[in-house]
């Protein structure tokens, strides 16, 4: 071959970025095993099939090696860092020695791919692929020359779908390799398989998933399988490409494995090298008799065989040793349906619940694993993570309720009537602030209505104001286990970021601290307003709610009573009177509280120029004080000097007005009884004498009934209206004091509490819906649900240091507020199965809709609309390095108090559970003694105050599962700490409940945590986006030394903090 020396010299002097590879190597010529001279260090540059040898990086090329008709072998005396290039022409071999083993391997790969024959093979392989694509597209190209009528008749391309059961994955298979060939003979391979999909319609190669990395073997058996969810567009014509990589340094393999276009093969310098690839059609796997394919792995040029790969079709109900539960095959069409029929728990629901469940869950991501059991069988695990539409639906419904409630409150404040100047100015100020908050709620609801795209809020959006009501990373994490000798089981965990007001920040702490501080300040409001306790304020809101609910009902039943009287229908009259009496009694009972009386007095004194009727001497004051002591909810009112003090007030006036309602109802009841009695006697007498005369009497007395009842009903309505007017005004005056005492802090705290509660409620509704569906056929669970209630256990992983302490305070209040939520299950009347939310801030009812077939499975109590109670408990254990600082230099009292308080709530639930549930109702009830022991153990661990005592988390989770509860796991963003906790819990369940082989516990944990299958878990990475950022240096916590050298004291503090952070990081 002839070369131009000047061109070669010019090529060798090009910048470093122009070469395929360059670096220092030791070079010499070899004949047989004998070196002609000692190896000399040279700077080597590889460009195409030319290897330039230079004395140093800046010198001229001393030799050029043409890499043609040559191959690479190992040099026997130093197999770790050296290779030999042998030439077919017979010239002396070229000995190459690198500085390290990885460097040697990378040079071996680069030199092996530099041969022009290899490049020609690659070109031929690419040409074959292009021809295949052209053949597949030929039909589409021909359509361009057909008339439009013929084009319409052809229709869209038809693909053969894969038969399956509803809600089951379309395709699942496992992978294993055999006889893989390494670049060097003694190289121990660390391999994984990347799975890509070629869609038949677009002809685009898309990365789909990857297996875990199996180390140190040339026959890897991968525990991570491949699964395609039900909605994935995969057909028999779909092609799947399997690419095998050798990872040189597992710790450095941070290649993104999300679904991205597969434009080119990854470079070797990212920590992994390409071994081989193969492709198969889905139809070939599905239709194969043995449900297995054995494929040959070839290099990228298609010429060299580097091993084989086995693809095994997976059915969750089939055992790998050949024992199958059931396989369904269509013999005529030769299509195998991916059927799972296995022994399942009653909680695993069938296809009837799909519409309602699909309305809540979307975009599932599935993973498939196979792990050995202690008796050398295989169990299969399907892991699923799904988003929920409730992340946005629940907050929007809740904000809409807040807007309506606040609008009613503002109108009630305006309807207070004329007030003295002091109180009137206060009312104007309150209404102005409330209007601003109302406008903010309306703007937030409008912005949420515009939201499109993902149905969950990622962690990077937690500081956005428009999304502050939305929970962070709310997902369902489900593990479906199929064991060879045990029943199938489902384990669900709801993962969500800690409910907290991130946009408002935590500079002054969280809700727990802010509410306590605000309440203390409100007690010392000086001369501005009257102080009402939080209990009385809540009572005032309850009274207003009862008024708004009961008044329309009473009016409606009164009209029905008159209608029955006009029709002279005794039975209808009795039923109408019964309903009217029940609702009126509830109405009257709502005002049996000293708060209404005292609020009326306060409102009366706030009127301009009020005239009082009755002296209130010391005796009356003492009596009132005595009454307050005997009330269940005493009204603790402190009148300040700004309130006018009068010596006269008719305290009995409210009693007379309130009692008139009961008296009017008694008059109506007496009249109805008299009319019915007369009617009965008249019918008997007239019927005996003259039937026709009896008919005339009916017509006559019908008018008499209506005329006699009408004035009594009108009186009842008038009395009720007077009571409603006075009670509404008095309770609105109480709310005015609450708002005026803390403007604007009161409204800001209400906003913060609404934000936190919205995030917590979205997760709770999701957890309840999922639990209801999985336990729909478990009669014991359904009885527990309506007899006792549902236990909801939150596992918190927040530290008690810095901002996370404020998050924990927010979270504790938000979860505690869930106690005022009740659930109700109703039959769906349409195809919209999303939950319906009603109520007010102090009491919410969530109506969960079920299809008719599912609704029929419920107990009669739940069908009749019985409200279902929730029992939320929170146990928190900080586990990160910030918690180490809090334990050594800070304060962990917050965490200890929260755990102790919620332990008492858990004990109360267990006590209620044992009292109301029969001994043989629940499958876990035979373990009652175990539950007692677990509770005692949990109590001891909480009292021990041990650092990072994760045993608390495990005990609380175990108790929750045994009591049929709903599990939540939360950290700051529901990413790193949450994923580590959930995967550890899942593997522990497999070990303790499903006989996972003890030697495979760590490997199973690695599979579930593998960045290849789950994304990287570094704090500097964001698995939500699918992209991995550069690892941040560990020195990011340290302060600049130059600033600290100003003072020796600051330098000592810096050294102590730096040492503490290092200890926390590597502990």
CB atoms closer than 10 angstroms to residue 896: 15
Separation CA 592–CA 539 (nearest Å): 11
Beta-ladder partners of 387 = 362, 475
Separation CA 113–CA 302 (nearest Å): 13
Separation CA 942–CA 895 (nearest Å): 10
**CB-based burial, 774-795: b 16+ in 10 Å, e otherwise:** bbbbbebbbbbbbbbbbbbbbb
Contact (Cβ atoms closer than 8 angstroms) between residue 935 and residue 959: yes
Going by C-alpha positions, the residue among 506, 587, 601 that lies closest to residue 543 is 587
Question: What are residue 691's phi and psi, to 5 degrees?
Answer: -60, -35
Q: Cis bond leading into 184, ω under 30°?
A: no
Residue 76, SS3 per DSSP: helix
Going by C-alpha positions, the residue among 835, 817, 820 that lies closest to residue 765 is 835
Separation CA 951–CA 957 (nearest Å): 10
- For 1010, residues 6+ apart whose C-beta sits below 8 A from its C-beta are 212, 213, 224
Burial (0-12, 13-18, 19+ Cβ within 10 Å), 1049: exposed
Separation CA 982–CA 974 (nearest Å): 10
Q: How would you write 748-794 as a 3-class SS string?
A: HHHHHHHHHHHHHHHHHHHHHHHHHHHCCCCHHHHHHHHHCCEEEEE
- Two tokens at 335? 């299509």
DSSP string, 114-175: --HHHHHHHHHHHHHHHHHHHHHHHHHHHGGGS-HHHHHHH-SPP-PBPPB-TTS-SEEEEE
- Which of 336, 960, 971, 987 is catalytic? The answer is 971
- Two tokens at 1013? 């299958």
Give the helix/strand (H/E) hosting 517: helix 511-522
Q: How would you write 634-678 as a 3-class SS string?
A: CCCCECCCCCCCCCECCCHHHHHHHHHHHHHHHHHHHHHHHHHHH
Return the DSSP state at 207.
E
Could you confirm whether 971 is annotated as catalytic?
yes
* Residues noted as catalytic: 971
């Amino acid at each position: 071959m002839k070369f131009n020396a000047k061109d070669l010299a010019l090529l060798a002097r090009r910048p470093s970025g122009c070469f395929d590879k360059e670096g220092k190597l030791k070079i010499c010529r070899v004949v047989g095993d004998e070196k002609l001279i000692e190896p000399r260090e040279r700077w080597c540059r590889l460009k195409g099939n030319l290897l330039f040898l230079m004395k140093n990086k800046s010198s001229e090329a001393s030799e050029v090696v043409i890499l043609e008709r040559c191959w690479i072998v190992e040099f026997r005396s130093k197999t770790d860092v050296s290779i030999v290039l042998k030439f077919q022409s017979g010239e002396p071999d070229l000995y190459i020695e690198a500085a390290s083993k990885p460097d040697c391997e990378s040079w071996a790969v680069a030199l092996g791919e530099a041969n022009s024959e290899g490049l020609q093979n690659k070109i031929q392989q690419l040409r074959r692929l292009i021809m295949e694509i052209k053949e597949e597209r030929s039909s589409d190209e021909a359509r361009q020359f057909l008339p439009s009528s013929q084009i319409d008749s052809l229709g869209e391309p038809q693909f053969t779908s894969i038969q399956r059961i509803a809600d089951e994955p379309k395709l699942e298979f496992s992978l294993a390799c055999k006889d893989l060939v390494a670049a060097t003979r003694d190289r121990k391979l660390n391999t994984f398989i990347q799975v890509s999909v070629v869609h038949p319609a677009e002809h685009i190669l898309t990365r789909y998933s990857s297996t875990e990395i199996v180390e140190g073997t040339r026959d890897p058996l991968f525990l991570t399988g491949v699964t395609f969810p039900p909605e994935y567009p995969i057909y028999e014509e779909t092609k799947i490409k399997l690419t095998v990589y050798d990872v040189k340094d597992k710790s450095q393999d941070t290649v993104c494995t999300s679904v991205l276009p597969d434009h080119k093969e990854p470079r070797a310098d990212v920590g992994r090298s390409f071994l081989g690839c193969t492709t198969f059609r889905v139809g070939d796997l599905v239709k194969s008799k043995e449900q297995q394919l054995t494929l040959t792995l070839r290099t990228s040029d298609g010429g060299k065989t580097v091993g084989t790969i086995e693809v095994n079709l997976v059915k969750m109900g089939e055992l790998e040793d050949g024992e199958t539960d059931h396989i369904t095959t269509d013999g005529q069409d030769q299509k195998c349906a991916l059927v799972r029929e296995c022994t399942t728990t009653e909680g695993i629901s069938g296809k009837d619940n799909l519409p309602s469940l699909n309305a809540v869950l979307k975009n599932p991501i599935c993973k498939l694993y196979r792990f050995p059991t202690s008796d050398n069988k295989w169990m299969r695990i399907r892991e699923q993570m799904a988003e929920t539409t409730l992340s946005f639906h629940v907050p929007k419904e809740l904000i809409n309720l807040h807007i309506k409630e606040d609008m009613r409150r503002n109108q009630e404040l305006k309807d207070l009537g004329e007030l003295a100047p002091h109180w009137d100015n206060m009312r104007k100020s309150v209404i102005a602030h409330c209007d601003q908050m109302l406008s903010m709620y309306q703007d937030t609801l409008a912005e949420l209505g515009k939201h499109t795209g993902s149905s969950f809020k990622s962690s990077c959006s937690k500081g956005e104001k428009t999304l502050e009501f939305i929970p962070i990373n709310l997902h369902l994490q489900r593990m479906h286990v199929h064991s060879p000798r045990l029943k199938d089981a489902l384990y669900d965990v709801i993962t969500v970021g800690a409910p907290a007001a991130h946009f408002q920040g935590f500079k002054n702490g969280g809700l727990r601290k802010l509410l306590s501080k605000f309440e203390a300040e409100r007690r010392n409001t000086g001369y501005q307003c009257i102080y009402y306790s939080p209990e009385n304020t809540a009572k005032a809101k309850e009274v207003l709610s009862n008024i708004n609910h009961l008044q329309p009902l009473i009016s409606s039943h009164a009209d029905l009573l008159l209608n029955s009287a006009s029709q002279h229908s005794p039975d209808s009259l009795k039923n109408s009177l019964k309903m009217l009496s029940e609702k009126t009694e509830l109405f009257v009972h709502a005002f049996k509280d000293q708060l209404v009386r005292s609020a009326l007095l306060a409102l009366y004194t706030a009127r301009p120029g009020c005239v009082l009727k009755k002296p209130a001497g010391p005796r009356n004051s003492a009596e009132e004080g005595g009454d307050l002591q005997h009330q269940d909810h005493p009204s603790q009112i402190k009148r300040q000097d700004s309130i006018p003090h009068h010596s006269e007030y008719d305290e009995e006036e409210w009693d007379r007005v309130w009692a008139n309602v009961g008296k009017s109802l008694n008059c109506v009841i007496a009249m109805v009884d008299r009319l019915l009695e007369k009617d009965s006697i008249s019918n008997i007498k007239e019927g005996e004498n003259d039937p026709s005369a009896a008919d005339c009497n009916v017509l006559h007395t019908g008018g008499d009934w209506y005329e006699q009842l009408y004035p009594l009903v009108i009186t009842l309505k008038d009395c009720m209206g007077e009571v409603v007017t006075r009670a509404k005004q008095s309770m609105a005056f109480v709310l005015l004091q609450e708002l005026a005492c803390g403007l604007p802090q009161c409204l800001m705290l209400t906003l913060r509490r609404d934000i936190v509660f919205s995030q917590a409620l979205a997760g709770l509704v999701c957890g309840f819906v999922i639990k209801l569906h999985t336990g729909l056929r478990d009669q014991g669970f359904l009885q527990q649900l309506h007899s006792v209630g549902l236990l909801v256990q939150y596992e918190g992983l927040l530290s008690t240091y810095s901002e996370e302490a404020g998050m924990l305070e927010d979270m504790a209040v938000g979860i505690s507020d869930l106690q005022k939520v009740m659930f109700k299950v109703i039959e769906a009347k349409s195809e919209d199965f999303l939950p319906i939310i009603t109520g007010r801030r102090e009491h919410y009812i969530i109506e969960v809709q079920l299809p008719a077939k599912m609704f029929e499975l419920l107990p009669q109590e739940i069908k009749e609309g019985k409200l279902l109670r929730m029992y939320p408990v929170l146990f928190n254990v900080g586990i990160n390095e910030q918690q180490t600082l809090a334990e050594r230099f800070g304060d962990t009292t917050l965490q200890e108090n929260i755990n102790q308080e919620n332990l008492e709530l858990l004990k109360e639930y267990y006590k209620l559970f044992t009292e109301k549930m029969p001994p043989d109702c629940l499958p876990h009830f035979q373990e009652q003694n175990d539950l007692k022991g677990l509770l005692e153990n949990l109590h001891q661990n909480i009292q021990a105050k041990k650092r990072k005592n994760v045993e608390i988390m495990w005990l609380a989770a175990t108790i929750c599962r045994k009591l049929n509860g709903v599990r939540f796991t939360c950290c700051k963003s529901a990413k790193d700490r949450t994923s580590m906790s959930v995967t550890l819990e899942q593997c522990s369940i497999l070990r303790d409940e499903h006989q996972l082989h003890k030697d495979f516990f760590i490997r199973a944990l690695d599979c579930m945590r593998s960045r290849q299958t789950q994304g990287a878990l570094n704090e500097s990475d964001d698995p939500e986006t699918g992209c991995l950022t550069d690892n941040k240096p560990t020195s990011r916590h340290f302060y600049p030394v130059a600033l600290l050298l100003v003072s020796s004291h600051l330098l000592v503090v810096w050294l102590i903090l730096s040492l503490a952070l290092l200890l926390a990081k590597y502990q």
